[in-house]
Structures are given as C-alpha cells and as structure tokens.
Amino acid sequence: MAVNQLTSLGLTALRNNFSELKNPYKLTFAITYWCQSRCLTCNIWDIRPKGELTLDEIKNFASKNNFFKWIEITGGEPFLRSDIVDIVRTFHKNNKDLYLVTMPTNSLCNREMVLGKIKEMLDIGIPKLSITVSLDGYKELHDKIRGIPGNFEKAVSMFKDLQELSKQYKNLFFVFGYTVSPFNQGSFSTTYSEVKKLIPNIRYNDFHFNIGQISGSYYRNESMTLSINKDIVAEEIKTLIKNRKFEFGAIPIIETVFLKRLVDYVLTGKPQIKSRSLDASLFMDSFGNVYPSIMWDKKIGNIRESDFYLKKMWYNQTAKEIRKEIKSGNEPSNWTACEAYQSIAGNVAESLLTMFSK
C-alpha cells in the first residue's frame, strides 16, 4: 500500500512539471495558533486565538476534499490540540493516497503525552510520519531565542526519544529544525558540537535549515526586522551541505536541492525556481482562511463560507488574479520548506541540475 501511495504522490508531482493540477496534493494546515514559546522571531505565541476550527469542522473539510497526498500540520504548537491524533486519523481515513504527514514540535508539552500521541499516529498506518524538533542554537542561545529556560534540554531529550521510537517504527522520520536569524547566525558549528556531546550519533543530515522570514498572515511578525549577514549564513549552509552524507530517497534528495537553493536565496533574495503555490499546494490557518502560501497574506476565501469545499474558492476571481501574479513572478519572495519542496518536485529538470551542481 505504501508503494502505491508513494507512486501516486510521485506521479502527481511529475505531472505538475508539465501542467497545472486539477487539485492540490499538499495541504499546509495550522491546526492551532496556541503556543507556549516566546520566540524572538515570531509573534504567533501572542495571538490568543478564538474560534479555531473544531474537530467536526475539520472532519467535514477532510471528507469533502479527499485529494491530498501530503499534509503538513503546523502551529503554534500542534501538540497543544488534544485531538491531534483524531485530526490525523480523519485525513488518513478520507485521503486514500495520503503518503506523508509532517509536523513540528517545540518540545514544551509533556514528553510522555507527545510520545504517546506520536505512537498513536504511527499506528494509524500512514506510510511516513515526519517530526521536526525545533532547535535554534546551543543551550543558552536556544533558550534565549525561544524565551523558555530549559527548552534546549527538552528538545534534545525529545530527539533521543524519537531515536528510540524509530527502532520500533520504520515509518517515522525526524530531524532538528534550525531556523537561522540575526540572533543565531554564525552559531551552527557551536550548536552542532554541543548537540554531538549529548547525542554522539547525531549527523549533519539530522538538521534541517530554514531562514527566519516575515509573514503577516502566519508569523504575524511584519513589524520585525530579521536581516541577516548574507555571507555568514551562506557559508553556514554550504558547510552543512558539504558535511551531509548522500542518501537515496526522495526526501534526502529534495532536501539537498532545497539547501543549495537556500544559498541562492540568502545571497540574492530570490529562490530562482518556479513557484507551485495555489497549484500543488495551499496554506489554511486554524480559522479556515485559505492562502496561496504561509508567506502571502492574500486570502482567497474561508472554508466555513464555502460549505467546506475547497473547489468553490479554488478558481474564484481572487485565486485567478493571484495565479497571474505568480506566473509574472510577483509572488513575495520566500524559500521555506512549506512551499519549496513541491516547487522542487514540480521543476525536476532544474532541480536535477541543482542537485549535481557544485
């Protein structure tokens, strides 16, 4: 079954190289904006949301939009929703070709509770469940950026627990998520060395990089300045690429292309690859508002107002205008994994050239 689901995802992504898709195959869904972190790079934690989608509403949405092959759950802190397993279960039930579910964690929830819920999700039968453990620096630095004393130790403990869990579950994939910002630029080598002391078998492949970016609709940090030293950060990413071991598989290959293009993005401000936003993918917030991506504050509609059918807004006038802007290269410049991975898969020729470039 997993082979069939992976094949379906691969063929859909390949088809997206030649034409627009009838339905998006990837959903990025912020299931809650509640968060215990106090990050210096983000204001999600300050939202105090009311009126988020209920489980029954999410079930309604999942039953009426059964074409997703990849669900990226995000937050806030996703594990603050006590019904997170039911949310994953309902998407799995309604999307027969669902291959991959991904989600981050800040490791601040009760560890046993989180691990228990991850086990439940793994037992559902999803071919691949991916967990990103947020870690933005060595002990003092991570705790400062995240605003929570002791967060570093909890993140490291979570990663160790996932290592043990992976011995039992072959469908579990996990990495550290390292967000580069003015607060930690130039600190990755120190961070890696400190983590290596605590997790001796850690590898460079176990770290995923993102660049801290501005988004009014998602991070709510439009008042911030997150300018980085381009040369310092580009060299850090190049060091990571140099030390990564080659691995077979779609995710490691796409990650390599992502990192190489991330260097270009840091140096030029442009990822220089065709976007697949509002084609292969979309972003939906916890209130049901639908956007082309997490970085573009241009709402095309709300699922509560369309009887939970995505198709009712997918080709509305706003969506058509946004697609024209994307084709004209006017989409706000960004390069995050939420949108980059499907852009890489939807531009295979360019991606292969990037993969084998120096």
Q: For residue 39, give the amino acid letter.
A: C
Nearest to 74 by CA among 33, 115, 37: 33
Domains in the chain, CATH or no CATH each: 2-355 (3.20.20.70)
d(CA 44, CA 33): 6
Q: For residue 129, give the amino acid letter.
A: L
pLDDT, tens digit, 9 for 90 and up, residues 113-127: 999 999 999 999 999
Q: Which residues pair with 302 in a beta bridge?
A: 289
pLDDT, tens digit, 9 for 90 and up, residues 81-90: 999 999 999 9
Q: Strand 281-284's sheet: what is its strand order? A: 207-211, 172-180, 128-134, 100-105, 70-74, 26-30, 281-284, 289-291, 301-302
Please give the model's pTM, rounded to 2 decimal places: 0.94
d(CA 64, CA 60): 6
pLDDT, tens digit, 9 for 90 and up, residues 54-93: 999 999 999 999 999 999 999 999 999 999 999 999 999 9
Segment 238-265 shows an average pLDDT of 90
Please tell me which residue, 216 or 38, carries the higher pLDDT value.
38
Query: Which range scores top for mean pLDDT: 194-198, 211-215, 260-264?
Result: 194-198
Compute the mean pLDDT over every residue in the chain, rounded to the nearest whole number: 94
- What's the confidence (pLDDT) of residue 358? 64
